[in-house]
Amino acid sequence: MYLNDITQVLTMALRLLCFFGGGISGHWKSWSEKRQKHTLVFILAGFMFFLALKLGFGLFYTDYWEWETTSRFLSSPNANEIRDNSDDDLCDSFPSYHLSRVQVVLKVGSTEPPSRVDTHITTVTRCITNLIVFSDHESEIKGHRVHDILATLPDSFWGNTSDSQAYRALQHGEFETVESSQGWKLDRFKFLPMVERAYEMNPTAKWFVFLESDTYLVWDNLFRLLDQFNPSLPLYFGSPTSGKGHTFFAYGGSGFVLSTAAIQKLVARKVGSRSMYSQPLLNQRYEGLIKEDCCGDSVLGWAIYQSGVKLSGMWPMFNPHPLHGIPFNERHWCQPVISMHKLILEDMTELVRWERQRGRKFPLLYADLFEYTKLGTFEHKMNWDNGDWGGWQEPARSPAHRSLEACSKACYEHPKCFSYTYNDPGHCVFVPSIRLGAQKPATENTSRLSAGWDLDKIKQWRDTHKCRRPQWVKPSTDRIF
């Protein structure tokens, strides 16, 4: 029946064609009905073949590359040869020669905890010999000059505003009078001049890597990634966040990368008659937007977009989560880890040591980080919260809310619950990913929390998710945090 219906449709299409081609019509009418049907079936088979071929490309398309990459790090000693808790040799295998191509820029602020900045410079950026540090006050940290990047802004940026008052206080060393929230507001002024000044300071670099004092960066994976791309093309990598005018910008906390070609397009100024610039400097072009917007990474992303460069979204490799907040799942498993955000200082220190002990024969994957966290080896933790992100609560009448034991039992029985958090007043939160969470003792204003993990589901999930090769995600702004 279906073949006859299709035959009728194709016959009508051929008759229309015959209207414009008398010769074809004559041949068609001279054929027997059986031959006509065979011809139509042949045409239909060809059509279905090409349709299947087209759909097949979409069906077998993957949003990642399975590159065979090599590490730029030098061969490391065996784990047994590395002295426990010693940081003296952390940089022995670091490829310092590669920093002639890669300029690293660290953005800090005077209102940040000094311990956080110190820890970052002695761990994550310890081996970065060309490190440029930008802040809102001229100083020195661990032998690195700290450049006051806000000093490069014209006077028009500073009126009688809370921003200018806070900045002046910092210049007079009155750090205790500036609250951290005001320091965060000043931060938005740093992005555009930071990028422009970094390029001026090292115009021969091929790549510029920007990070913050609570950004953890896996240098080996970053170098492997950059080796796959041509820096003479305008490229902008990071974790995509929705920005102005339906565009996307790279979230600053996860770190971001710009090729030299991208920065050149960003800072370029139009030239008018007599070879004079007809455009103001980059900062002045976006002065109004900088003052209005909350976030400098958003303004930078918009300026880059207007220069003709779109963001290559690399989430989840560039990751806004801290280590304890990573939701281990299919999106966070076989993908290489390039960055994490808001790490606690202990994690920052221990991860650097663990990376060295682990070796760098293969890229560091989320599955490797899972092993580091020891998830799957403990079932319960008191005064702990792993349900503060990505979880959900069952309906209020659910027996899961009756007690910790009931919450645990309900999670085990729910096919999508891998872990849970229960608070004493009677709220059970299910978590659909394998997530570590963090310690959270009860206070006068907060209730006691307890967390648990379904070890059987976790083991089964791990057994069915073996990483054959690293999945280097392709640029996308559809895949977003």
| H/E segment holding residue 257 | strand 256-259
Determine the topology of domain 97-318 in CATH. Answer: Spore Coat Polysaccharide Biosynthesis Protein SpsA; Chain A (3.90.550)
The residues, any chain, with a CB within 8 Å of residue 468's CB and separated by 6 or more, are 66, 334
Tally Cβ neighbours within 10 Å of residue 66.
11
The residues, any chain, with a CB within 8 Å of residue 159's CB and separated by 6 or more, are none
121 to each of 184, 213, 358, how far by Cα in Å? 20, 8, 21
Token pair listed for 273: 């008659």
* Backbone torsions φ then ψ of 387, nearest 5 degrees: -115, 20
Token pair listed for 261: 């070609």
> What is the rounded distance in angstroms from the CA atom of residue 407 to the CA atom of residue 10?
61
* Backbone torsions φ then ψ of 477, nearest 5 degrees: -110, 10
CATH for 378-469, among 2.30.30, 3.30.70, 3.50.4, 3.30.1390? 3.50.4
Token pair listed for 292: 């209005």
Q: Which of 418, 438, 440 is nearest to 430 (CA)?
A: 418
| H/E segment holding residue 282 | helix 282-285
Per-residue pLDDT of the chain (481 residues; tens, 9 = 90+): 334 444 454 555 555 555 545 555 566 567 777 777 777 778 787 777 766 655 555 455 689 999 999 999 987 555 455 555 556 688 999 999 999 999 999 999 999 999 999 999 999 999 999 999 999 999 999 999 999 999 999 999 988 789 999 999 999 999 999 999 999 999 999 999 999 999 999 999 999 999 999 999 999 999 999 999 999 999 999 999 999 989 999 999 999 999 999 999 999 988 888 888 888 889 999 999 999 999 999 999 999 999 999 999 999 999 999 999 999 999 999 999 999 999 999 999 999 999 999 999 999 999 999 999 999 999 999 999 999 999 999 999 999 999 999 999 999 999 999 999 999 889 999 999 999 999 999 887 788 999 999 999 999 999 999 999 999 999 999 999 8
DSSP string, 333-359: SSSBP-EEES--HHHHHHHHHHHHHH-
Residue 21, classed as helix, strand or coil, is coil
Cβ 226 vs Cβ 207: under 8 Å? yes
> What is the rounded distance in angstroms from the CA atom of residue 24 to the CA atom of residue 21?
5
For residue 210, what are the β-bridge partners? 105, 256
Domain ranges of the chain: 1-24+33-61, 97-318, 378-469
Cβ 121 vs Cβ 142: under 8 Å? yes
> What is the rounded distance in angstroms from the CA atom of residue 240 to the CA atom of residue 317?
11
Bridge pairing between strands 392-393 and 215-217: unpaired
Bridge pairing between strands 339-341 and 236-238: unpaired
Cβ 422 vs Cβ 407: under 8 Å? yes
